[in-house]
Amino acid sequence: MDEDAPAPPTRPVDLSRFSVADLSAMIEDHTREIERLRAAIAAKTAHRSGADALFKR
What gap in Å lies between CA 54 and CA 47, rounded to an integer? 11
Helix (H) or strand (E) holding 5: none
| Euclidean distance between CA atoms 9 and 6, whole angstroms | 9
Reported as a single tens digit per residue, the pLDDT across 1-56 is 456 778 788 889 999 999 999 999 999 999 999 999 999 999 999 888 777 777 77
Radius of gyration of the chain (CA): 17
Do 15 and 23 meet the contact criterion of CB atoms below 8 Å apart? yes
Strand runs labelled E in 1-57: none
pLDDT for res 7: 79
